[in-house]
A = this chain, B = another copy of it.
Amino acid sequence: MTDLWVIHYSTGYCSVRKGARVPTVSDVAARAGVSTATVSRALNGKPTVDPDLAARVRQAADDLGYQPNGPARNLRRQEAAVVALIISDVENPFFTAIARGVEDVAHEVGYSVVLCNSDESVEKENRYLDIAIQERVAGVILSPSGPTSTVAKLASRGTAYVAVDRPLPGQDSDVVLVDTRLAAREATAHLIAQGYERVGCITGPAGVRTADDRLAGYRDALKAARRRTPKLVRRTEYKAAGAHRAALDLLAQPESPDALLIANSVMAVGVLQALQEQGVRAGRDVGLVTFDDAPWAALVDPPLSVVAQPAYEIGAVAARLLLARIADATRPPTATTLGARLTKRASSRRH
Residues of A whose CB lies within 8 Å of any CB of B are: 2, 4-18, 20, 22, 65, 67-75, 80, 90-91, 93, 96-97, 99-100, 103, 112, 114-117, 128, 130-131, 133-136, 153, 155-158, 172, 179, 240, 266, 269, 272-273, 276, 294-296, 298-302, 310, 313, 329-339
Contact = CB atoms under 8 A, between A and B. Distances in A.
Given A65-B153, A240-B295, A296-B296, 14 more contacts: A11-B332, A11-B334, A12-B333, A65-B157, A69-B134, A73-B134, A100-B117, A114-B115, A269-B296, A269-B299, A272-B299, A273-B298, A296-B300, A300-B300
Number of copies: 2
A14 to B, nearest CB: 5
A44 to B, nearest CB: 13
Contacts of A115: 90, 114-117
Contacts of A332: 11-14
Nearest to A137: B70
Nearest to A92: B96
Contacts of A67: 130, 133-134, 157
A122 to B, nearest CB: 15
A6 B338 contact: yes
Given A7-B339, A338-B6, A296 B298 contact: no
A269 B65 CA distance: 42
Nearest to A80: B71
Given A67-B134, A299-B296, A336 B9 contact: yes
B7 A334 contact: no
Contacts of A68: 134
A294 B155 CA distance: 39
A96 B100 contact: no
A72 to B, nearest CB: 5
A4 B339 CA distance: 8
B20 A156 contact: yes
A273 to B, nearest CB: 7
Contacts of A10: 334-335
B310 A5 contact: yes
